[in-house]
Structure 1
Amino acid sequence: MEERILKEGIYTGIQLSKYIINKCTNDRQPISNLQLQKILFNLQKYFIINYDKKLITDDFEAWPYGPVIREVYAEYCSYGSMTINEKYNHISINSSIRSKIDPIISRLRKRQPWDLVEDTHRPGGAWDTIYKNGAGNKKIIPVCLIKEKEN
């Protein structure tokens, strides 16, 4: 049963972002676009490492402040460093997936944005390997590299 659910549990960055934003807003702990990107990356990393599969269909790119899903950034960049206080209707995330991601979201949203950035900038990590002091700016971070370097 678990394996079947995980096969079905692939979401776009925007779908998962709406769920995360709803959860954080409803819990009265709204997050910024920067925090959202780092939460998304950590959720992707968790699924790649623990289930050998992507949770999010979109690719992450190596941007100056860490891994970014371009479409999600474009959707929420107008907020700048302010919190995103949106509420969305009809966001459907499988309950098995929610039980895995909710604790990660709750833990990471309490961290300062720049601490989350520092985590993704770890020397030798997936972002660092691609970004290479700017030479790899906005290049895709391959899933195999996330599994190898973030494990």
Structure 2
Amino acid sequence: MIRSLSHSISKIYKMMYNKDEGKGANKMDGRYDAVELAAKVISIVHDNGMYITNLQLQKVMYYIQGEFMKKFNYKAFVDPIECWPYGPVIKRVWRVYNSFGRKPINTGGSSLCLDVREESCIKKIIKEKLKMNVWDLVDQTHAELPWKHANEIENPFISDSDMEEYFCR
């Protein structure tokens, strides 16, 4: 019974994180904890005199993941990105900031240290995506391969391979 339970847990882990437990990561490890990175994004947003809602944060995190895969050949975070009706969502991050609803997130700062290239990449994404109307941002993610494919095949998760195909081509 314990062997069966262990095998089941291993299968779930592989499905959620696209990893083989005990054999290391697939070709792209996640560099940061998604919740810590989200807090850093919020801190950068506030430092630049802007605001961000949870819906916007989810989309920004999705684009950060794609750009990290493209520019640095590693994932920004290991958490799976889910295919929700309003676009890509990192569930752990969503849970942390869900209490804000549609209102801007007004939490404190972050002590996460990014290297200069990573922070520059994130700032560029923030400036570009937060200029957009939130519903245009949702529509943009809906038109892109990763969300579109997961939605078409009714997969609750956006695959790393679709992220790579879309962002790294």
1:43-85 per-position Cα deviation (integer Å, ceiling 9, x unaligned): 1111222333211221101011111000000000111111011
Whole-angstrom CA distance in 1 between matches of 2:124 and 2:105: 20
Q: How does 1:26-45 map to 2 (within 5 A)?
A: 26-45=47-66
8 A Cα contact 1:48 1:143, kept in partner? no
Q: How does 1:1-151 map to 2 (within 5 A)?
A: 10-122=31-143, 125-132=145-152, 135-136=154-155, 139-150=156-167, 151=169
Structure 1 spans left out of the alignment, 5+ residues: 1-6
Whole-angstrom CA distance in 2 between matches of 1:18 and 1:90: 9
Whole-angstrom CA distance in 2 between matches of 1:50 and 1:127: 20
1:95-129 per-position Cα deviation (integer Å, ceiling 9, x unaligned): 33112221111221221111110111006x11111
Give the secondary-structure state (helix, strand or coil) at the position aligned to 1:107: helix
**Cα drift, residue 89 of structure 1:** 4.4
Give the residue type in structure 1 aligned to 2:68: F
Cα–Cα, structure 1 residues 8 and 44, in superposed 2: closer, same or farther, change >3 Å? closer
8 A Cα contact 2:31 2:76, kept in partner? yes
Give 4+ residue runs of structure 1 displaced > 4 Å after superposition: none
Q: Which range is displaced more, 60-69 or 109-118?
A: 109-118
Question: How many pairs does the alignment contain?
Answer: 141
Cα–Cα, structure 1 residues 128 and 91, in superposed 2: closer, same or farther, change >3 Å? same
Structure 2 spans left out of the alignment, 5+ residues: 1-27
**Cα drift, residue 8 of structure 1:** 9.5
Whole-angstrom CA distance in 2 between matches of 1:145 and 1:82: 31
Percent identity of equivalent pairs: 30
8 A Cα contact 1:25 1:87, kept in partner? no
1:119-144 per-position Cα deviation (integer Å, ceiling 9, x unaligned): 11006x111111128x33xx121111
Greater Cα radius of gyration, structure 1 or 2: 2
